[in-house]
A and B are shown apart, each in its own frame.
Chain A
């Protein structure tokens, strides 16, 4: 495999491959964070997670069209506004869905799976009716595409850097919100003991709604960011949902740290194996090892002690 390549070649490929692994890690964290919050904190299996992501992508698409038409001067920076709007749109839709659908099903966790799956089909068809069945091309400002040359051989994709920065920022924000802010304390209290939390005066319904909204909002941000690396079509959310669940379940559903650890493990394994094997084989091996590990540790990598 490495016959005939110079050390310089190999060194730079190693560097770029390492970076590719880190980008994949960031992508996985960004995808999985929203789901992990909803799954971990509320026990709701949100099958419509991918569709919330795509809503964010469509918001970004609309933003790019609006800026191109009315504010071409500010086009270079529309993306930041698009991310915020994507968060708001997906978050608000999430809260509405929680109010209309999810809150009636808290006692029946498996039914939420069916309900959100149905919701994902409905959303897909709505996108198809509104935006058309075809993929839309999201035009990005020139500075976001392309790569920076670190050396003659090493090229670092700029969109990868943006995804990494965004992921770091959001992970940090979620950490502060859940583990440092008063609201996060309420969320954790509700997770640990709903009845007791309610008894000490926490408005559990409000906490639930905001938690669900937050999870969906982060999905929206992820979707917005993925317009840089992927496609935007009514069914594109389905492309991410399997990996997302894989990361969350492997990490241990209750644990945000677990989600990050599992995203790191899976992304590094995948990106290394894809380099040495073909893409399909890498996928198969990753899935096999995840299944193997889950057989040994059904609760996932990290487990929080929770009282039901």
Chain B
């Protein structure tokens, strides 16, 4: 594929152009009455915006959506798919990107990391997608990263994650760990006078790295605070009575929980059953969004604090438009968690970047990304940092019995993304 730039295979390029022409002819004859010219401002010429053979025509551009819609991770990734489709639909309704309508090709990563890599390659090599919105777990991102770097694609990755990564070919629309963790710890220490912390997590890279950052911050950067326990559980662990007893003995001021998946449900149900009252015991989590509460049950987690950048209950004009639009498209009962909102940012940021660069070329998009700001973000306002992460505010929410959060604190300014935090490794 690297040869492509030097010597593009003439037959396929020619055939594509011919096919496009053939496809456009009947469309040109039939569509004009249905598609008023004003709806789609005429964009710049295709040759000008696409010099590397991406799937861009005179009136359409193709992108990819790559999430798990089957397997374990479907639970989490469904919301992201919905948000990305909503964003694409809204962008198209506003006239598309550079005068071109966005078409998407959706692939299923099936909760299997090699499948993610294979589908990513398909989206880039066969479909020539101009951008791909996708992945959820760090494992899937790590699996596709070499593919995106080798074939020079652009990935918009929505999940809050552990950091320690930066790539020309990825825009990270979720928070990296220090953004999410530090503000929350500072808040809970100041507001609750917390001195002792008990760190819990599922046993894989994100909770371990995040708790490492939390521990460094508690021990080295705040005064008079210490960690009194740290425990990890295999993914899918369902029995938490022993650790709950351990915490009863140690009596930490704050339980800091980064438990994921089905374990989450078991943990909060058993916590409640063991008589730990979250209105008295401070518990802070960075892994429970509104999506997870659907499974946990609001009554089991009410009173817990979550620290992330977005909550569905957030009050601002952008969110007041976003939430009803999401519900109208995906049903009144759907809820929107932090990652879902971050996934929604992906297509918009890509559109804004393409318009800034006046091109779909990956290299130009990557170069134009730093400084791109999205004022219509449901979370308020975001801006892309030169390290391809987002400047964003961090917020603390308190879980209500109805499964929503009350937002009770937000940082005064935007938190700077710092994927390689010095002093936290």
Contacts and interface: CB of A to CB of B under 8 A. Distances in A.
Is B a genuine binding partner of A? yes
B249 A230 contact: no
Given A139-B299, A271-B241, 5 more contacts: A133-B70, A135-B75, A229-B270, A278-B231, A278-B232
A147 B245 CA distance: 13
A128 B297 CA distance: 19
B41 interface: no
B203 interface: yes
B273 interface: yes
B66 to A, nearest CB: 16
B166 interface: no
* Nearest 3 A/B pairs, CB to CB: A135-B295, A231-B265, A20-B241
Nearest to B231: A278
A226 B74 CA distance: 22
A271 B242 contact: yes
24 contacts: A13-B249, A16-B245, A125-B70, A133-B69, A137-B294, A138-B297, A145-B299, A146-B272, A146-B273, A157-B273, A226-B238, A228-B269, A229-B238, A231-B296, A235-B71, A235-B72, A239-B238, A240-B238, A270-B242, A274-B243, A275-B242, A275-B243, A279-B203, A280-B234
B78 interface: yes
Q: Looking at B243, B264, B269, B292, which has the most chain A CB atoms within 10 Å of its CB?
A: B269
B74 A135 contact: no
B253 interface: no
A134 B243 contact: no
A229 B75 contact: no
B241 A24 contact: yes
A160 B275 contact: no
B274 interface: yes
B275 A155 contact: yes
Contacts of B242: 17, 20, 270-272, 274-275, 279, 282
A204 interface: no
Contact of A233 (B244, B262, B272): B262
B246 A275 contact: yes
Contacts of A235: 71-72, 75, 262
B273 A159 contact: yes
A138 B69 CA distance: 23
Contacts of A149: 275
Interface string A222-264: 0000101111111110111000000000000000000000000
Interface in A10-26: 13, 16-17, 20, 23-24
B245 A134 contact: no
B275 A147 contact: yes
A280 B232 contact: yes
Nearest to B69: A133
A239 B236 contact: yes
Contacts of B244: 20
Interface string B302-331: 000000000000000000000000000000
A136 interface: yes
Given A239-B236, A275-B242, A279-B233, A134 B275 contact: no
B262 A135 contact: yes
A280 B233 contact: yes
Interface in B275-295: 275, 291-295
A230 B263 CA distance: 7
Given A137-B297, A229-B269, A239-B236, A16 B248 contact: yes
A132 B230 CA distance: 34
Given A13-B248, A17-B242, A135-B75, A160 B296 contact: no
B262 A157 contact: no
A203 interface: no
B238 A230 contact: yes
A161 to B, nearest CB: 10
A7 interface: no
Interface in B155-213: 203
B139 interface: no
A134 B262 contact: no
B71 to A, nearest CB: 7
Contacts of A283: 234, 237
A27 interface: yes
A205 interface: no
Contacts of A233: 75, 262, 295
A202 interface: no
Interface in B70-112: 70-72, 74-75, 78
B300 A279 contact: no
A228 B300 CA distance: 11
Contacts of A160: 241, 273
B270 A239 contact: no
A134 B78 contact: yes
A20 B27 CA distance: 69
Nearest to A271: B242
Contacts of A145: 269, 272-273, 299-300
Interface in A32-78: none
Contacts of B415: none
A230 B261 CA distance: 11
A157 B232 contact: no
Q: Looking at A13, A137, A232, A240, which has the most chain B CB atoms within 10 Å of its CB?
A: A137
Given A231-B262, A239-B238, A278-B232, A20 B245 contact: yes
B400 to A, nearest CB: 14
A49 B243 CA distance: 28
A128 B70 CA distance: 8
A158 interface: yes
B239 interface: yes
B60 interface: no
Given A134-B78, A147-B275, A5 B249 contact: yes
Interface in A129-154: 132-139, 145-147, 149, 153
Given A134-B295, A155-B275, A233-B75, A279 B249 contact: no
A78 to B, nearest CB: 15
B266 interface: yes
A230 B269 contact: yes
A23 B244 CA distance: 14
